[in-house]
Each structure stands twice: as C-alpha cells, then as structure tokens.
Amino acid sequence: MKFLATPLSLLTLLTCFTTFSQTSLAFVNNDLINKTIIRSTEESQIHKILLTAVKAADLEETLAGDGPFTVFAPSDRAFDKMSSDKIAALLKPENKKALQSLVTYHIVAGNFTASKILRAMCRGKGSASLTTVQGNELLATMDGLDIILTDCFGNIARITSADANQSNGVIHVIDSVILPNQL
C-alpha cells in the first residue's frame, strides 16, 4: 500500500501544478490580449523608432482601432541597418506620404499568426503572398525554421519573434525594414 501512495501523491501534485500553470498562463495571455497593437508598441523597449514613425505617419489611431491587423514590426536594431539620414528624412513632415507608405507596408489586414502563414505557404507550395495595407505584396517563405518576408525589391526580413497576440491583431518582430519603394 505504501508503494501505491507515493505514485498517487505524485499524480496529485502533478495535477495541481498543471492546473496552477494553466491558470498562470491564461492570466498572462489575457493580459497581452487586452492590449492593442499601439499600446504594446508604446510599452516595448525595442520598437522606439517604429513608434516614432507610426506617430509621425498619423497611424496611431489606426493601430489602436478594432483591426484585426498583422504587424511585421521592425525592431530598433532593424532600423539601425538603414542610414540615419534616410530615417531622419522620412520623419520630416514633407515626407509624410513616403513614411505612411513605409509603415503600412509592414501591416497586413487580418490576424495572421505564424501557423496561418505556414499553412498558406503549404497551400502555396512553399510560399505565400501577403497583401499589405499599403497595397503591395510581401512574399513569405521558409529558411530553415524561420519565416522570411521578401519585399518587392528582393530585400528580406526574418521573423525573430512571432505571435504576440493583441486585442486587435498580432505582432511579429522582424530583423530588417522592408521597403515598398526605393528610398
């Protein structure tokens, strides 16, 4: 009988731990899902340049709205790959249309999680075309285990962190800025 009590105790402990873990994870996920894309971007420590660009392009309200949107969010390190002169020029009021074009090229209408993108790539025999809010397309393909986005000029961005679910869509962090036109 003593032999049966130990496995039974372990099973009870495992059940309690699993229930506690699921409750904790549900709280964390609900906390993320209650935030909008713009709010999460404002709180992010790695999207300061993107936030500045969104505000200068007057897209703050859009990304706080209902959506759903999928945002391929370049990190500050991704923007560091661009020349600081190009970034400064884009942020000038007279270049607002070009900035809006750049920012909306990183947004797709709809909620495209990584698994949905992968399913689309399976249906597309290894690639999927995503139409951006800007109007041009991005091509999604795989490189090893990574989802790669290719812009209309052949520039690529790798999704480095996927599926940050928000109340109005999903954010995927990317490692490069993709371009809708030559800057």
CATH of the domain at 124: 2.30.180.10
The pLDDT value recorded for residue 183 is 60
In a domain, residue 183? The reply is no
Yes or no: say if 63 and 100 are a contact pair by the CB < 8 Å rule.
no
- Count of the separate structural domains present in the chain: 2
In a domain, residue 91? The reply is yes
Judgement on whether residues 12 and 86 belong to the same structural domain of the protein: no
Judgement on whether residues 81 and 130 belong to the same structural domain of the protein: yes
Mean pLDDT of 135-157: 95
Task: Tell me the residue ranges of DSSP E strands in the chain.
Answer: 69-74, 107-109, 128-131, 137-143, 146-150, 156-166, 169-174
Judgement on whether residues 81 and 123 belong to the same structural domain of the protein: yes
More confident site: 45 or 183:
45
Judgement on whether residues 17 and 29 belong to the same structural domain of the protein: yes
Confidence of residue 110 (pLDDT cuts 50, 70, 90): very high
Close Cβ partners of 181 (under 8 Å, ≥ 6 residues apart):
98, 101
Judgement on whether residues 20 and 84 belong to the same structural domain of the protein: no
Residue 100 has pLDDT above 50, yes or no: yes
In a domain, residue 179? The reply is no
The pLDDT value recorded for residue 181 is 74
Residue 46 has pLDDT above 60, yes or no: yes
Query: What range defines the domain where residue 44 resides?
Result: 37-174
Closest CA to 155 of 135, 133, 136: 136
Judgement on whether residues 104 and 26 belong to the same structural domain of the protein: no
pLDDT digits (tens, 9 = 90+) for 14-43: 233 223 223 222 323 445 567 999 999 999
Judgement on whether residues 26 and 95 belong to the same structural domain of the protein: no
The pLDDT value recorded for residue 10 is 27
Judgement on whether residues 26 and 79 belong to the same structural domain of the protein: no
3-state SS assignment for residue 137: strand
Residue 134 has pLDDT above 80, yes or no: yes
Range from 8-12, 117-121, 126-130, 161-165 carrying the lowest mean pLDDT? 8-12
